[in-house]
Amino acid sequence: MSLSDKDKTAVKALWGKISKSADVVGAEALGRMLVVYPQTKTYFAHWPDMSPGSEPVKAHGKKVMGGLTLAVSKIDDLKAGLLELSEQHAFTLRVDPANFKILSHCILVELATIFPKEFTPEAHLSYDKFFTAVALALAERYR
């Protein structure tokens, strides 16, 4: 299920649009995740406020989108491009990789609400594959 040229083109094309609202998309997607999958809150117990729209959620959403923008730019070699982030997630953050799928789903839902016309089934397919590939690259250094 590796990314075809068609997938890469589709991802980059829509990302151009997404990046204009990146902060909002990131914050909203993260907010969704914390509400819809409350077990993910275990990673953020050190935040004073975990509610959607709060400052820590907004700041962290921005950070996550920054990571995804990096991934888009390294789409031809995600393993190498995300090596450092993989090490961070593996050794410092120690996030269970099962959660990557959960956050991916929340980002897809957010994309559907903000870009109902552009987020066609084909765009959805390419993004689902892209996020799966990113998750795999992020999990690279885990064991």
| d(C-alpha 54, C-alpha 40), whole Å | 16
CB of 50 to another protein, least distance (A): 12
Q: Which of 45, 76, 92, 116 binds another protein (CB under 8 A)?
A: 116
| DSSP-assigned letters across all residues of 43-57 | GGTTSS--STT-HHH
Q: Note the Cα 27 to chain centre separation in Å.
A: 11
* Residue of 116, 132, 90 lying closest to 1 (CA atoms): 132
Tell me how far, at minimum, the Cβ of 32 lies from another protein, in Å.
Answer: 4
Helix (H, G, I), strand (E, B) or coil at 74: coil
24 touching another protein, by CB under 8 A: no
Within 33-72, which residues bind another protein (CB under 8 A)?
A: 34-36, 52
Q: Give the footprint of another protein on residues 73-112 (CB under 8 A).
A: 105, 108-110, 112
Q: How many CB atoms lie within 10 A of CB 89?
A: 22
- Among residues 32 and 89, whose Cβ is nearest to another protein? 32
Q: Which residues bind another protein (CB under 8 A)?
A: 28, 31-32, 34-36, 52, 105, 108-110, 112-114, 116, 119, 121-122, 124-125, 128
